[in-house]
């Protein structure tokens, strides 16, 4: 299995609950290398662009409200098989359905406010990393 990158976002509930450090600690303890991170407050259009595939879903406007409700932290992560390994670490979208020991099981309140995002395919990871970390935004030794 090759070394791969994925995009995580520590969502606004994670930052608000002062879990930024704890969640990053769990991610690093699971063997991921943090390549880049950048706390920022998303505008509506940036959040809408990120979740464009969900535009027609009934939860879309609530999702955008939530993702713009405070600062979040996009993070570029690297590990063997990173995309799938990270999805396993965070658990199911709905914390009620997430496996024991996953980050969402331990910290998320509900399906809407679920602490962390993880890319769901290698192709999406590439696009999502580029969405937040353009040319020169990943430190040289990690680029
Ligand atoms: P993410 O893309 O944030 O990592 P995911 O891939 O597990 O989550 P998606 O199906 O891509 O889940 O949904 C994107 C986000 O939209 C979810 O993380 C959640 O915050 C929100 N969401 C999805 N389904 C619902 C729903 N039924 N009700 C409320 N919010 C939802
Ligand atoms: Mg998703």
Mean pLDDT of 7-12: 99
- Residue 1: pLDDT over 80: no
Task: Tell me if 114 CB under 6 Å of ligand 1.
Answer: yes
C-beta contacts of 13-21 below 8 A and 24+ residues apart: 13/66, 13/108, 13/109, 13/113, 13/114, 13/115, 14/72, 14/73, 14/107, 14/115, 14/116, 15/39, 15/70, 15/71, 15/72, 15/73, 16/70, 17/107, 19/107, 19/115, 20/73
With beta carbons less than 8 A apart as the criterion, state whether 85 and 79 touch: yes
pTM of the shown model: 0.97
C-alpha 84 – ligand 2 centre gap (Å) = 12
Query: H-type helices in 2-41, by residue range?
Result: 12-16, 20-29
C-alpha 120 – ligand 2 centre gap (Å) = 6
Task: Tell me if 124 CB under 6 Å of ligand 1.
Answer: no
Q: Whose CA is nearest to atom 7 of ligand 1?
A: 93
Which is catalytic among the residues 38, 54, 117, 142? 117
Q: What is the pLDDT of residues 42-80, one digit of tens each?
A: 999 999 999 999 999 999 999 999 999 999 999 999 999
């Amino acid at each position: 299995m090759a070394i791969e990158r994925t995009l995580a976002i520590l969502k606004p509930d994670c930052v608000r609950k002062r879990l930024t450090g704890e969640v990053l600690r769990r991610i690093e303890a699971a063997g991921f290398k943090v390549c880049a991170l950048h706390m920022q407050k998303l505008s509506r259009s940036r959040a809408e662009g990120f979740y464009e595939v969900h535009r027609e879903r009934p939860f879309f406007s609530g999702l955008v409200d939530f993702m713009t409700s405070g600062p979040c932290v996009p993070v570029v992560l690297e590990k063997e098989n990173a995309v799938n390994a990270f999805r396993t670490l965070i658990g199911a979208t709905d914390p009620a359905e997430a496996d024991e020991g996953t980050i969402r099981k331990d910290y998320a309140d509900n399906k809407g406010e679920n602490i962390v995002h993880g890319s769901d395919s290698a192709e999406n990871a590439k696009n999502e990393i580029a969405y937040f970390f353009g040319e020169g935004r990943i430190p040289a030794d990690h680029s």
